[in-house]
A and B are shown apart, each in its own frame.
Chain A
Amino acid sequence: MGQCLRYQIHWEDLEEYQALTFLTRNEIPVCRLNIHDTFLKLCPPGKYYKEATLTTDQVSSLPALRANPFRDRICRVFSHNDVFSFEDVLGMASVFSEQACPSLKIEYAFRIYDFNENGFIDEEDLQRIVLRLLNSDDVSEDLLTDLTSHVLNESDLDNDNMLSFSEFEHAMNKAPDFMNSFRIHFWGC
């Protein structure tokens, strides 16, 4: 069991983070506090918080992400080489914060939903999304194909059975619930 060196975030660092992300002044220290506690328990001794890293399992078990069916995709999109540095976590919190602009959220939503990472959301991705959403064992093939065909009918403009980024962006700009639901409060959990 190690102890990370407990440093207060310097004022200049705070200013910089505030300029580079969508987080406000209050959210960064509290966010860090949560992460910092986890850092304290899990990271090797004697390391500065800026250099310490978390594994994807540790981030997946954060209270904000614990119940999320897409947590493995979120971790994969925001981590580098399967580890999270402090700034990776800040970047993740920035994208999911309330103040983030729609284009940023749509960009990351596309990356999260692209399970096979081929740059398009195809039928296989859609089926996996639906299975994650329904989270039940008895989903019939008919239901899956029905739902995927409805989604493609609505948003696939060039009829190639895949959603490119522009089509996805177009669909999400029209979806009224997207901005409200694509939000995570990392603090206060």
Chain B
Amino acid sequence: PVNFLQELPSYRSIARKRTNIPSRDKQSGTLLKPTDSYSSQLEEGIAENLNSQSIRKYALNISEKRRLRDIQETQMKYLSEWDQWKRYSSKSWKRFIEKAREMTTHLELWRDDIRSIGGKFGTGIQSYFSFLRFLVLLNLVIFLIIFMLVLLPILLTEYKITNSSFVLIPAKDIDIQCTVYPISSSGLIYFYSYIIDLLSGTGFLEETCLFYGHYTIDGVKFQNFTYDLPLAYLLSTIAYLALSLLWIVKRSVEGFKINLIRSEEHFQSYCNKIFAGWDFCITNQSMANLKHSSLRYELRADLEEERIRQKIAERTSEETIRIYSLRLFLNCIVLAVLAACFYAIYRATIFSQEHMKKEIDKMIFGENLLILYLPSIVITLANFITPVIFARIIHYEDYSPGFEIRLTILRCVFMRLATICVLVFTLGSKITSCDNYSCELCGYNQKLYPCWETQVGQEMYKLMIFDFIIILAVTLFVDFPRKLLVTYCSSWKLMQCWGQQEFAIPDNVLGIVYGQTICWIGAFFSPLLPAIATVKFIIIFYVKEMSLLHTCRPSPRQFRASNSNFFFLLVLLIGLCLAVIPLTISMAHIPSSKACGPFTNSNTTWEVVPKTVSTFPSTLQSLVHGITSEAFAVPFFMIICLVMFYFIALAGAHKRVVVQLREQLSLESRDKRYLIQKLTEAQRD
């Protein structure tokens, strides 16, 4: 029957489209050697699609491609002048684009390192490192935006490079008490206070351009115009948030398109695992053995999961009720654990803030640092303990294995990122709560926080430094000793149980997304934070690479690259959304400090925008007012909803058509087989 199938016109036309060569020689299985009929058929093929693809895309070997190209060039002579010129210019344009692309790939950072990691440890871990590289670039671009919009005019004026001056508008209608900003300078400075200042952003670092308080300027007057610094500061914040969102969405669109097209269960495609399961770039035998065992594990686990899902579908209603009530109870426990951690962070922050205000210079060195870093320490401890608890709890909830992993990871992600929000909200509540008298004077607690944005910036700075120190410390004091112990004391039972380190992708990804969320929140309050984050991520890249190459063994359970990319970008997006919330609240609700910063003349940070809009010409003003009014927003929202419903209906209709076509196709195929069978029987008679 297969012989007949190969003679069918549909098979032949597809074969011709593929290679421009007639049917394959069955015995040798290789392509036919060129003959006269071959070249005439080639010409037919070319005449069919004269605007065809470039020669490279043909599935022929090089000598045949050469012949094809010669034929194409002789064909070109029969074209008109215009067509020839068009063909020539499109070819040279394509060549130019390729050369440009080649040159940009040389500029790609760490290309060889990441490739060699992929060859040795698989594409899942390789995608972790390319994710890290993406974050380095993102932070660099964010810092460039902030530099161009905010730092550059100030530096130009300070160092007298251009002929400009600062504009300082005196504050009006504000109580003089709000503008008092005592810079603490004690008499005797101990030598270690510099170290404390460096680690916590107080003292000599507080007035530098690292923090918000340095930018107490209302404008920079150049020769022809006045550069509005408060507006630039606000716009740089909005710009970097928007840029991060767009870049992340652009990166995730490729993976998303593929996932949306599929109708099957996400991550569960057997075709993908079998035809695209083997990483062809694996070069050493031990890695190949590992890949074999991971494929064995994965395929068996998938089949197992199917069986469990069938079992779940066959549950009796009694069992279902029991399982659901158990799950409800366990979720309450999870919520209780989360609430306990959040409360601990809340108390630690309040304790740290209260004691920081007291005589911190009179304390001993260690106690100093402990109080300053208490929130960070509590957050880190909570992030060590809760994944263990979650992993224990989920066993009792009786989900399928794939779902278990995903739910645990989701809970850990939420835990990690929500801790930062809790910290920021605690600070916010402390800033807006005044104990004896109400905050009517300045809108915030100006006795304790004369310049509250700088202090929030200092907390973010401390979190970032502490996170960096912890990552370095864990690598130095846990990973390397573990590897040494395993290598030299492998006879101990404990070492055999514990074993060598595996590179745990989810934990590492959460760590760097945590760092990036801190950077996003902190960049408003501390404009140099993205630069620090860039340097930090660069150092982390090399540290993690060394740790991976020298202390880790490849994990038997490997993440796939496609899963990984989607997961990383999803977590990053959650971090971005969680970072935007405290920023919007602090920009729109909490009054900006009147003692420092660019927003001393407006009530809140956001007020700069309405003020600027009121300086526009009146037509533009009314346009802006029109767009932001309800009369525009409500119909706009309704139109968007209608468009969305239209596309959903369209997608449903397409899906129905696809199902019908598939049924039709299988019916046709049955007919075809029946006819072939009849034909073979008729031939036999």
Q: Identify which of residues 160-175 in chain A touch chain B, using a CB-to-CB cut-off of 8 Å.
A: 160, 164-166, 168, 171-172, 174-175
Q: Is B29 part of the binding interface, using a Cβ–Cβ cutoff of 8 Å?
A: yes
Chain B 185-232 residues near chain A, CB threshold 8 A:
none
Is B250 in the interface zone, CB < 8 Å from A?
no
A181 touches B277 (CB 8 A): yes
Partner of A151, one of B28, B274, B289: B274
Nearest B residue to A78 via CB reads B61
Chain A residue numbers with a CB within 8 Å of B18 are: 107, 165
Question: B327 interface residue, CB < 8 Å from A?
Answer: no
* Contact (A66, B299) CB under 8 Å given A20-B62, A181-B278: no
CA distance A151 to B642 in the complex (A): 39
Q: How far is the CB of A169 from chain B (nearest CB, A)?
A: 9
Question: Assuming the A-B contacts A67-B287, A68-B280, A91-B61, are A117 and B26 also in contact, with contact meaning beta carbons closer than 8 angstroms in the complex?
Answer: yes
Q: Does A8 contact B (CB under 8 A)?
A: no
State whether the Cβ of A147 lies closer than 8 Å to any Cβ in chain B: yes
Residue of B26, B65, B276, B282 near A172 (CB, 8 A) is B276
Nearest Cβ distance between residue A83 and chain B, in whole angstroms? Answer: 11
**Do B55 and A133 touch across chains, with their CB atoms under 8 A apart?**
no
Q: Are A120 and B5 in contact (CB under 8 A)?
A: yes
**Chain B residue with minimal CB distance to A118?**
B2
A70 with B288, Cβ < 8 A, contacts A20-B55, A165-B18 known:
no
- State whether A185 touches B281 (Cβ < 8 A): yes
**Contacts A20-B65, A24-B102, A70-B278; is A181 near B283 (CB within 8 Å)?**
no
Determine the chain A residues whose CB is within 8 A of the CB of B270 once the complex forms: 147, 150-151, 154
Contacts of A90 in B (CB 8 A): 62
Residues on the B chain within 8 Å of A172, using CB? 271, 275-276
Interface residues of A in 90-122 (CB under 8 A from B): 90-91, 94, 96, 100-101, 103-104, 107-109, 113, 117-120
B278 touches A69 (CB 8 A): yes
Count of chain B residues near A, Cβ 8 A: 70
Q: Does B81 contact A (CB under 8 A)?
A: no
Q: Is A134 an interface residue (CB 8 A)?
A: yes
A177 with B62: CB separation less than 8 A: no
Report whether B280 and A96 are in contact in the complex, using a CB–CB cutoff of 8 Å: yes
B19 at the interface (CB under 8 A from A): yes
Question: Is A21 part of the binding interface, using a Cβ–Cβ cutoff of 8 Å?
Answer: yes
* B contact residues around A20 at 8 Å (CB): 55-56, 62, 65-66, 69
Q: Find chain A residues with CB under 8 A from B296 CB.
A: 134, 136
**Chain B residues near A17 (CB-CB < 8 A):** 62
A119 close to B24 (CB less than 8 A): yes
Residues of B within 8 A of A117 (CB): 24, 26, 29
B553: Cβ under 8 A from any A Cβ:
no
The answer to whether B275 and A175 have CB atoms under 8 Å apart is: yes
Q: Which residues of B contact A136 (CB under 8 A)?
A: 292, 296
Residues from chain A with Cβ under 8 Å of B672 in the complex: 160
- Say whether A87 contacts B292, CB under 8 Å: no
B665 and A178 within 8 A (CB): no
Of all chain A residues, the one with the shortest Cβ separation from B302 is A150
- Given the known interface contacts A87-B63, A182-B276, the answer about A19 and B55 at a Cβ–Cβ threshold of 8 Å is yes
Distance in Å from the Cβ of B98 to the closest Cβ of chain A? 8
Dominant secondary structure at the B interface: helix
The answer to whether the Cβ of A129 comes within 8 Å of any Cβ in the partner chain is yes
How distant is A81 from chain B, measured CB to nearest CB, in Å?
A: 7
Give A168 to B2 CA distance when docked, in angstroms.
17
Bound CA–CA A67/B122 (angstroms):
14
In the complex the two chains form, is B670's CB within 8 Å of A147's CB?
no
Contact in complex: B280, A134 (CB < 8 Å): no
Instruction: Evaluate contact between B299 and A147: CB separation under 8 angstroms.
Output: yes
Say which residue of A150, A171, A175, A189 sits within 8 Å of B283 (CB atoms).
A189
In the complex, what distance in Å separates the CA atom of A120 from the CA atom of B30?
15
Please tell me if the beta carbons of B62 and A21 are within 8 angstroms of each other in the complex: yes
Q: How far is the CB of B107 from chain A (nearest CB, A)?
A: 14
Which B residues are in CB contact (< 8 Å) with A21? 56, 62
Q: Which stretch of B259-267, B425-433, B578-586, B596-604 is in the interface? A: B259-267
Chain A, Cβ-Cβ closest to B566: A176
Assess the B57–A101 pair: CB atoms within 8 A: yes
CA gap between A68 and B583 in the complex, in Å: 52
With an 8 Å Cβ cutoff, the count of chain A residues facing the other chain is: 75
Q: Report how far A174 CA is from B267 CA in the complex, Å.
A: 12
B669 A159 Cβ-Cβ under 8 A = yes
Nearest-Cβ distance from residue B182 to partner chain A, whole angstroms: 58
List residues of chain A with CB within 8 A of the CB of B303.
143, 146-147
Chain B residues whose C-beta falls within 8 Å of the C-beta of A189 in the assembled complex: 283
0/1 per residue, B558-588, Cβ < 8 Å to A? 0011100000000000000000000000000
The docked-state distance in angstroms from the alpha carbon of A154 to that of B662 is 12
Set of chain A residues within 8 Å of B63, measured between Cβ atoms? 87
Pick the contact of A171 from B11, B30, B271, B288 — CB < 8 Å? B271
B59 within 8 A of A: yes
Cβ-based interface call for A22 (8 A)? yes
Residues of chain A within 8 A (CB-CB) of B5 are 119-120
CA distance A78 to B29 in the complex (A): 11
Closest Cβ neighbor of B6 among chain A residues: A119
B264 and chain A: residue at smallest CB distance: A154
- Give bound CA distance, A108 to B44, whole Å: 24
A67 touches B55 (CB 8 A): no
Bound-state CA distance A158–B671 (Å) is: 11
Bound CA span A96–B396, Å: 47
Docked complex: A128-158 residues within 8 A CB-CB of B: 129-130, 133-136, 143, 146-147, 150-151, 154-155, 157-158
Contacts of B14 in A (CB 8 A): 164-166
Whether A91 contacts B62 by the Cβ 8 Å rule is yes
Select which of A22, A147, A182, A188 is within 8 A of B56 by beta carbon.
A22
Residue of B nearest to A107 (CB): B59
Complex formed: what's the CA distance from A63 to B283 in Å?
Answer: 6
A174 to B261, CA, bound (A): 7
| CB-based contact B62/A175 at 8 Å | no
Q: List, in ascending order, chain B residues with CB within 8 A of A6's CB.
A: none
Is A184 touching B280 in the complex (CB atoms < 8 A)? yes
Q: Is B673 an interface residue (CB 8 A)?
A: yes
B175 beta carbon closer than 8 Å to chain A: no
Contact partner, A104, options B28, B59, B115, Cβ 8 Å = B59
* Residues of chain B contacted by A47 (CB below 8 angstroms): none
A48 to chain B, nearest CB (A): 16
Chain B CB within 8 A of A25 CB: yes
Cβ-defined contact, B275 with A157, below 8 A: no
Residue ID in chain B nearest A159 by CB atoms: B666
Q: B300 interface residue, CB < 8 Å from A?
A: yes
- CB of A120 within 8 A of CB of B255, answer no
B273 CB to nearest A CB, Å: 8
10 pairs of residues in contact across A and B, judged by CB atoms under 8 Å = A20-B55, A67-B284, A69-B278, A94-B56, A107-B59, A160-B672, A160-B673, A171-B275, A181-B278, A181-B281
Q: A88-B62, A143-B303 are in contact. List 13 more A-B contacts (CB 8 A).
A: A79-B30, A80-B30, A118-B2, A119-B2, A119-B24, A120-B2, A134-B299, A143-B300, A165-B18, A180-B562, A181-B277, A181-B280, A185-B115
9 closest residue pairs by CB, A with B: A158-B669, A176-B562, A67-B288, A159-B666, A178-B276, A87-B62, A175-B272, A177-B276, A150-B270
Give residues in A with beta carbon < 8 Å to B: 16-17, 19-22, 24-25, 63-64, 66-70, 76, 78-81, 87-88, 90-91, 94, 96, 100-101, 103-104, 107-109, 113, 117-120, 126, 129-130, 133-136, 143, 146-147, 150-151, 154-155, 157-160, 164-166, 168, 171-172, 174-178, 180-185, 188-189
